[in-house]
Structure 1
Amino acid sequence: MSQCQHQTIHQKDYKVPDYLVDTVELTFDLSPEDTRVLSRLAIRSNHDRSNGASPLVLDGEELTLVSLKLDGVEVKRDAYRVDDASLTLLAPPESFVLEVETRIKPKENSALSGLYASGPMLCTQCEAEGFRRITYFTDRPDVMAVYTVTLRADKASCPVLLANGNLVDRGDLPDGRHFAVWHDPFKKPSYLFAVVAGDLVHIADRFTTMSGRAVQLEIYVEERNKDKCEHALRSLMRAMRWDEEKFGREYDLDTYMVVAVDDFNMGAMENKGLNVFNSRYVLASPESATDDDYEAIEEVIGHEYFHNWTGNRITCRDWFQLSLKEGLTIFRDQEFSADMQSRPVKRIADVKSLRSAQFAEDAGPLAHPVRPESYVEINNFYSMTVYHKGGEVIRMLQTLLGREAFRAGMDLYFERHDGQAVRVDEFVQAMADAGKRDLSQFMLWYDQAGTPVLTVSDDYRPESGSYTLTVTQSCPSTPGQPEKKPFHIPLAMGLLDRDGNELPLQLAGEAAAAGTSRVLELRGETETFTFAGIKERPVPSLLRNFSAPVKLQYPYSDEDLNLLMTRDSDPFVRWEAGQVQAVKLIMGLTGEIQAGRQAQVPESFIESFRRLLADDSQDRAFLAETLTLPAESYLAEQMAVIDPDAIHQARELVRSTVGRRLWSELTAVRAACAPKAPYRPDDGLAGCRRLKNLCLAYLMAAGGQEAIDACMAQYRSADNMTDSLGALAQLTSCACPERDEALASFYDCWRGDRGVIDKWFTHQALSRLPDTMDRVLALLEHPDFDLRNPNRVRSLVGAFSQGNQVRFHDAGGRGYRFLADQILRLNAINPQIAARMLTPFSRWRRYDAHRQELMKKELERILAEPGLARDVYELAAKSL
């Protein structure tokens, strides 16, 4: 496809569909090489026909049309048109039944969109626009229908036949074939359609809903993975119970099925009653999965289940409203995980992810609002902004309204719009009505891109006991939006006296104090808030619980930060105070390194680490977060011109100094965290393991054979993947013989487990050693590397280019050439994954002139590629 054919779709051009589909009957004769699909669509007009019938345009890609019938009669050739993207009936009647037979080739479908082959199964991925690769259809989310699906296949090779809804019939056919009929009684858009067929096994359990209904739960996997499903099944049951208790939402079908697939572009897909998952978010065993894996599985299982109501029962009117389901469901899965795990640690993890990836997205050429204005390829807007910033927007609504009114708003939303395809506006209106609030200005969070900056100053008047905070908000220009209106921002805050006591908060003019923590609402460009009854200059505790996705600027002194870090009641503020100190230190050291001066870590910083290590009253997981330095990617965002080498040297200087100066303390904490019993995923000691492995990382940063020996001892004795990888991760960045020994033994032990070997690739790609680029190139030729498998691509190409700042941005440009080469290879195989690999190039303007030129050259090379997919073209063009 030439670049001039890449059409831009605009939100402002939305029109209701000319035709609606009431029922869909699909019959599949399944085969990896050649599948036949017969669709029977009950269609009716949805437009004014006084001037004649509008054509019916059905989307279709990579299809072979076999036959076309209208009300049982073959459609004449001059009554329709067919091309590479659509089938058009020129003048259809007002209501009719259309029968379309198509042929598709699943085994040749490397894009993994539509119906494709993965190992011993056939499966589908239809979000966002994959259904058009199965049959001709009005493939848009506001066309909702009731589906009945008949699957027919060879019984020996495909003993399992699954689709959405409830199983209504099954049986044998002649010639060794069999069939299954599935009916979904709930209207759904085509993107929620799913089919899975293959040689699978399953584990099962039953869940009793709050109204007493019994639901059959089934998780389907390949035989070799049957013993790795128990955690996913338990997570599903916890998610179902949680949604009933927190939101009053009950499951509505007789069966809920999850299928694990090795080849999958996304994390998982919420198809009604038949979730298709990337296997990495289902499979776990104590030997092969880390604590992080167990947490991620629980979170993603919850996310897809919660979609049953926020995405399936109520769906998006159009793809511009994608955050209506994704941002809302991200918020719901974050709250679920916070209740299942440590709420403060979960909040910190979410903020770290947002700041490192989404803030960077907001600050670059790919910035877009939570509700985008236009797109060329909708898959490119499955982004951090739509998902995670969208989740923060929902959280702000809860902060502004309070939990009780927010829950009432959710109930009202479900009551009003069940079974509908709606907009973000309808959701926010339900919140406004339930909370009796005007949220019209709040809608700017959906329609303006960029990360707001809050600049805070203060003034204390001892003679009157008044303390005034002045908050000014601004938002940088983003593509297509040079000027921004003020946002409606909730700023959660408190005040501390110099002893760390929380002060009562009484705004001037109020009759009494309203507690020691409150939410200030910012609506104007500049707002002032004056507090009465303040007897000494306080320390402001700002942006508690990260109450809004903003950047905060306030001139905290080191003394202020130490007070907040040790005494504040809000865990996020305590953690953030330490991060601010670390950023100030590392940025200062970076400047010294750039200037060619001797850089040293001050004693005060080492002492703060020593105090934290000695505090055994803190939660181990929270302490590990507090002692973890900001990532190089986050530090890079603090620089006007990013210098990856200086950032890396400065951060490594801090790590090695901490390791050397606090050797005995780190060793003691690591010993205290040593296991007292065999590993269990649910033993409550994940925080101890996290802290123990962090201590090991600091010891390894100090260098020396003693640290290497300790690392190898942990690697050899580990009875769990968390500790095994904790040691291996450090050895991969160590220029020592033990490195190759550990990598070889790890591969020999786990070569049959795809998920674990993904980790083996990733840790080598993240190595800080100078030879990493050579090793990555060699790994491309490894027998276990497969460019057609998205997980394998992410584990090597993605990990190196997005996770290894210093080696990817090597000044020689080899990393840039490597990434462009892989993007061009992927363009012909799987454009979705190719486009997602482009992200590092979008930030090229933030680097020095030499690196800018090198990255720009690779972007131009990508854009010059003949037949560039629209996914890749859109992001490359925007990046330039």
Structure 2
Amino acid sequence: MARFVLPSKTLTFSRNTLLGLISPAPVNCSVCYFQNTARRSIRFKHFLASEVNFRKKYCPLYSSLSRVKQVSRRLLCSVATEDSPKQVEESKMETPREIFLKDYKMPDYYFDTVDLKFTLGEEKTIVSSKIAVYPRIEGSTPPLVLDGQDLSLVSIHLNGKALKEEDYHLDARHLTIQSPPSGKYDLEIVTDICPQKNTSLEGLYKSSGNFCTQCEAEGFRKITFFQDRPDIMAKYTVRIEADKSLYPVLLSNGNLAEQGDLEDGRHYAVWEDPFKKPSYLFALVAGQLQSRDDTFVTRSGRKVSLRIWTPADDVPKTAHAMYSLKAAMKWDEDVFGLEYDLDLFNVVAVPDFNMGAMENKSLNIFNSKLVLASPETATDADYAAILGVIGHEYFHNWTGNRVTCRDWFQLSLKEGLTVFRDQEFSSDMGSCTVKRIADVSKLRNYQFPQDAGPMAHPVRPHSYIKMDNFYTVTVYEKGAEVVRMYKTLLGSQGFRKGMDLYFKRHDGQAVTCEDFFAAMRDANDADFANFLLWYSQAGTPVVIVNTSYNPEAHTFSLKFSQDIPPTPGQSVKEPTFIPVAVGLLDSMGKDIPLSTVYHNGTMQSVSSNDQSVCTTVLRVTKKEEEFVFTDIFERPVPSLLRGYSAPIRLESDLTDSDLFFLLANDSDEFNRWEAGQVLARKLMLNLVDDLQRNKPLVLNSNFVQGFKRILCDSSLDKEFVAKAITLPGEGEIMDMMGVADPDAVHTVRTFIRKQLASELRSEFLSTVENNRSSEEYVFNHSNLARRALKNVALAYLGCLEEKEFTDLVLHEYKTATNMTEQFAALAAIAQNPGKTRDDVLDDFYGKWQHDFLVNFCL
């Protein structure tokens, strides 16, 4: 499933978006907001990050969305269609029951092949299926229970013989064949459905003149009677018939085997998928679409046809999506050795596809927002979102399609793993550090509150009532962090060995999280102790680190204690396996070479190929334990949890001086950013306390100087600098308070921003001037980074409310040649009430009010 994209008219901007760069907290902005603000001054409405989480999973971020995968599936509602013969009223359906992981049972029957025929019509659609069935246990004849919802049954044939009503049982949810024959047999079922009335948008539905499907997780049962569960994998052949004038394009999974004309102006297409897949990956699209065509030559020399289908007017905006697809295909070959397996890969993008994006085998379906882009209507965040989400859905071809989930409790097996893969892809296409910062920020802002709230659940939940509720930031984002920990522990080569064994063992199978764990363990002969607890325990571990230095023994000690707070249904937690990447800095700010550490009564080598290392991964597996580094000849400053090596809350005895030292010197750029954020949060909390005590607000001069050093360090990546000089959002600060005080936090954050802008105005002005460009818009890392830094600097200057800078920001708005820079200038202007703001907002609204791609952002 897609990476959480909510294609609605209103989205919530996080501080990672352009407007968020200048807003004191996430701000609710819609088209109406811009229209109304142009007429009158209004105040921004602030709210906690946890509230954002409940409104929509999370907002556009660096590469998962402006990225963000999510139509929150729980927004979908099942709406019954009209009753028909043999159809039981929905009102009589049984009360939903809780499903438990422990109750999983293997199916009594498997399906070998599935032949489907769709006769698409304007009043109804006839679906004919022919299924080759065989029992799991030879000779057994238990009833065959098929899922079905909102279907009108026309006929059933078993081995060519029509069944009578007494031969089967039909209710609102199931069709049961009471006494099937022993051995293999063919089951033929014909049903009527009405896609035009399918308002649940699951199964086959019609919208804006197109037929479209959405089958994950349990939508296929709204198309025909079937064992609609992911461990039923079969080979599909699909024939589609439709009016050629209304539906000239007929698409389904696999390779196009045959097409032609029929009588009465109709035509047909036959699609064959040679690979087994579960029913949730079935897809069908029929409509009036045009395509951008390209080719990709795999590493084995096969030529793959690539087509991106959209309404005709949108085809020019698909160039970046095609680039993203080809980049993803090449990256998967280079990094994981995974080659595309069919002759054709189709992508369909329509504006009213409500699931964001879907990885159907060889026929990915997207909301247009995640495919279409032009410099005039899309920001850098939009381009990054398209790159990441196109990659995510393509990567599912192996992690989700070729190897799928045994049951829906294993959802993170495909989604957590594929999120990790798309994160790595986006990192390699841009800045690894900035991407890591964005992913960790998303985790902290949206997953941590879920872990701390009433909806806390493990990466692999133990039960569910409604499957749609499984699509959460815990399953996706925390699940990705669990996969990342394997790589942290095993290294890149060891992780690749584990992936290779995983595919070798399980290609074409439906498997579990334990199977992935076993592949990683066995491929590397590794001991992961209690690592599997990450899948079964909810909550965010809190790790406390205390340090001590022994100058006589030349040793440096790190004492760890871990605790996982109680969560609903889990009051007692066991210590889990936490990889903590650590480095030590000497007084000159250089990494100290590390070779040995004393742990569990033994001296252990941490060297690599007999060479000392600058970073080592400590395996914290107990509630309390100590690691002692030897041959340390001065008291070091520890760099803890480098690269954010585990999804935990870390508390340490580092002083402010230590943090400023790390901010200036740490070779791990993530921890350099983290030190600055910790200092900023502490500063903001202290100033909130001063404000509440009616003390004057004074900005720490050390903080200003540390901020200035980062801003003026030309050796740093510009996108990293843009991240590093962005203050924590108000939601983060309020989340750390016993009793939140939104007004005080807002006042303090505004004060800090204005003080920084005032004291560093010349540096900010130089940053804006040095990062202008009159060249044509190009989406690549160097240009993206330049624009990001310029826009953050502009936002700081814009908050000063001085004519010089108001004129500067207005000039940037009027001369901008792309949406990234124009919207950044708009956001900077929008900070300060007045006629200039009203005029600019009115201008922007008037220009873009009818463009759905821009409206989607607002």
TM range (shorter): 0.7 to 0.9
Q: Secondary structure at the match of 1:685?
A: helix
Q: Tell me the CA shift for residue 628 of structure 1.
A: 0.7
Which amino acid in 2 is paired with 1:590?
A: V
Which amino acid in 1 is paired with 2:134?
A: R
Match of 2:146 in 1: 58
Comparing 71-80 and 333-342, the one that deviates more:
71-80
Comparing 433-442 and 470-479, the one that deviates more:
433-442
Cα separation, 1, equivalents of 2:648 and 2:605: 31
Cα deviation code 1:676-698 (max 9, x no counterpart) = 42322237211111111111221
Match of 2:374 in 1: 285
Q: Does the C-alpha gap of structure 1 residues 60 and 297 become closer, same or farther in structure 2, counting only changes over 3 Å?
A: same
Match of 2:685 in 1: 587
Structure 1 consecutive aligned stretches of length 4 or more whose deviation exceeds 6 Å: 1-4
Q: Secondary structure at the match of 1:236?
A: helix
Q: Tell me the CA shift for residue 190 of structure 1.
A: 0.2
Cα separation, 2, equivalents of 1:510 and 1:354: 33
Which amino acid in 1 is paired with 2:107?
A: P
Q: Is the 8 A contact 2:93 2:172 kept in 1?
A: no
1:639 maps onto 2:639 in alignment: no
Q: 2:511 aligns with which of 415, 422, 427?
A: 422
Cα separation, 2, equivalents of 1:593 and 1:69: 78
Match of 1:479 in 2: 568
Match of 1:795 in 2: none
Comparing 708-717 and 378-387, the one that deviates more:
708-717
Q: Tell me the CA shift for residue 718 of structure 1.
A: 0.8
Cα deviation code 1:405-461 (max 9, x no counterpart) = 111111111111110000011111011011101224111111111111110001111
Match of 1:177 in 2: 266
Cα separation, 2, equivalents of 1:220 and 1:591: 56
Q: 2:244 aligns with which of 125, 146, 155?
A: 155
1:703 maps onto 2:792 in alignment: no
User: In the comparison of the two structures, how many residue pairs are matched?
Assistant: 758
Q: Secondary structure at the match of 1:702?
A: coil
Q: 1:533 aligns with which of 631, 655, 666?
A: 631
Q: Secondary structure at the match of 2:532?
A: helix
Comparing 690-699 and 648-657, the one that deviates more:
648-657
Which amino acid in 2 is paired with 1:647?
A: V
Q: Is the 8 A contact 2:799 2:831 kept in 1?
A: no
1:5 maps onto 2:95 in alignment: yes
Q: 1:226 aligns with which of 279, 294, 315?
A: 315
Q: Tell me the CA shift for residue 558 of structure 1.
A: 1.6
Cα deviation code 1:727-770 (max 9, x no counterpart) = 222334432223333333223323443111122xx3xxxxxxxx
Match of 1:25 in 2: 115
Q: Secondary structure at the match of 2:583?
A: strand
Q: Secondary structure at the match of 1:218?
A: strand
1:88 maps onto 2:176 in alignment: yes
Q: 2:697 aligns with which of 580, 599, 608?
A: 599
Q: Does the C-alpha gap of structure 1 residues 365 and 3 become closer, same or farther in structure 2, counting only changes over 3 Å?
A: farther
Cα separation, 1, equivalents of 2:194 and 2:727: 50
Q: Is the 8 A contact 2:457 2:539 kept in 1?
A: yes
Cα separation, 1, equivalents of 2:212 and 2:532: 38
Q: Does the C-alpha gap of structure 1 residues 48 and 253 become closer, same or farther in structure 2, counting only changes over 3 Å?
A: closer
Which amino acid in 1 is paired with 2:549?
A: Y
Report 1:694-733 matches (<5 A). Answer: 694-733=792-831
Report 1:509-658 matches (<5 A). Answer: 509=603, 514-658=612-756
Match of 2:197 in 1: 108
Q: Secondary structure at the match of 2:625?
A: strand
TM-score by length of 2: 0.86
Match of 1:328 in 2: 417
Q: 2:597 aligns with which of 498, 504, 507?
A: 507
Question: Unpaired segments of 5 or more residues in structure 1?
Answer: 763-880
Cα separation, 1, equivalents of 2:306 and 2:509: 26
Q: Secondary structure at the match of 2:567?
A: coil
Q: Does the C-alpha gap of structure 1 residues 507 and 746 become closer, same or farther in structure 2, counting only changes over 3 Å?
A: same
1:675 maps onto 2:764 in alignment: no
Q: Is the 8 A contact 2:529 2:577 kept in 1?
A: no
Cα separation, 2, equivalents of 1:21 and 1:674: 61
Match of 1:836 in 2: none
Q: Secondary structure at the match of 2:538?
A: coil
Q: 1:403 aligns with which of 484, 492, 505?
A: 492
Q: Tell me the CA shift for residue 629 of structure 1.
A: 0.9
Cα separation, 1, equivalents of 2:327 and 2:270: 30
Match of 2:227 in 1: 138
Q: Tell me the CA shift for residue 32 of structure 1.
A: 5.3
Comparing 505-514 and 569-578, the one that deviates more:
505-514
Report 1:716-865 matches (<5 A). Answer: 716-759=814-857, 762=858
Cα separation, 2, equivalents of 1:715 and 1:665: 21
Q: Is the 8 A contact 1:112 1:263 kept in 2?
A: no
Q: Secondary structure at the match of 2:531?
A: helix
Cα separation, 1, equivalents of 2:815 and 2:683: 37
Which amino acid in 2 is paired with 1:606?
A: V
Cα deviation code 1:235-263 (max 9, x no counterpart) = 11111111111111111101011111212
Q: Tell me the CA shift for residue 512 of structure 1.
A: 8.6
Q: Tell me the CA shift for residue 47 of structure 1.
A: 4.7
**Bigger relative CO (Cα 8 Å, ≥ 6 apart):** 2
Cα separation, 2, equivalents of 1:524 and 1:25: 54
Match of 1:872 in 2: none
Q: Secondary structure at the match of 1:43?
A: strand
Cα separation, 1, equivalents of 2:300 and 2:157: 45
Q: Secondary structure at the match of 2:646?
A: coil
Match of 1:868 in 2: none
Which amino acid in 2 is paired with 1:62?
A: D
More helix by share: 1
Comparing 166-175 and 747-756, the one that deviates more:
747-756
Q: 1:690 aligns with which of 784, 788, 792?
A: 788
Q: Secondary structure at the match of 2:479?
A: helix
Q: Tell me the CA shift for residue 48 of structure 1.
A: 7.5
Q: Is the 8 A contact 2:798 2:831 kept in 1?
A: no
Q: Tell me the CA shift for residue 104 of structure 1.
A: 2.2
Q: Tell me the CA shift for residue 702 of structure 1.
A: 2.4
Cα deviation code 1:112-171 (max 9, x no counterpart) = 211122323211111111111111111100011110101111111111000000111100
Q: Secondary structure at the match of 2:799?
A: helix
Match of 1:72 in 2: 160
Q: Does the C-alpha gap of structure 1 residues 460 and 205 become closer, same or farther in structure 2, counting only changes over 3 Å?
A: same
Q: Secondary structure at the match of 1:392?
A: helix
Cα separation, 2, equivalents of 1:330 and 1:317: 19
Q: Is the 8 A contact 1:118 1:261 kept in 2?
A: no
Which amino acid in 2 is paired with 1:417?
A: H
Q: 1:445 aligns with which of 518, 534, 555?
A: 534
Q: Secondary structure at the match of 1:684?
A: helix
Q: Secondary structure at the match of 1:507?
A: strand
Which amino acid in 1 is paired with 2:825?
A: A
Cα separation, 2, equivalents of 1:110 and 1:531: 63
Cα separation, 1, equivalents of 2:173 and 2:836: 55
Report 1:297-312 matches (<5 A). Answer: 297-312=386-401
Comparing 338-347 and 38-47, the one that deviates more:
38-47
Comparing 572-581 and 673-682, the one that deviates more:
673-682
Q: Does the C-alpha gap of structure 1 residues 511 and 48 become closer, same or farther in structure 2, counting only changes over 3 Å?
A: closer
Q: 1:490 aligns with which of 571, 575, 579?
A: 579
Please report the RMSD computed on the Cα atoms of aligned residues, expressed in angstroms: 1.8
Cα separation, 2, equivalents of 1:492 and 1:682: 31
Q: Is the 8 A contact 1:620 1:691 kept in 2?
A: yes
> Once the two structures are aligned, what percentage of the paired residues are identical?
51
Comparing 734-743 and 549-558, the one that deviates more:
734-743
Q: Tell me the CA shift for residue 17 of structure 1.
A: 1.0
Which amino acid in 1 is paired with 2:662?
A: L
Q: 2:331 aligns with which of 239, 242, 267?
A: 242
Q: Secondary structure at the match of 1:87?
A: strand
Cα separation, 2, equivalents of 1:684 and 1:517: 28
Q: Does the C-alpha gap of structure 1 residues 149 and 3 become closer, same or farther in structure 2, counting only changes over 3 Å?
A: closer
1:39 maps onto 2:129 in alignment: yes
Which amino acid in 2 is paired with 1:63?
A: L
Match of 2:762 in 1: 664
Q: Tell me the CA shift for residue 85 of structure 1.
A: 1.8
1:259 maps onto 2:259 in alignment: no
Cα separation, 1, equivalents of 2:628 and 2:328: 44
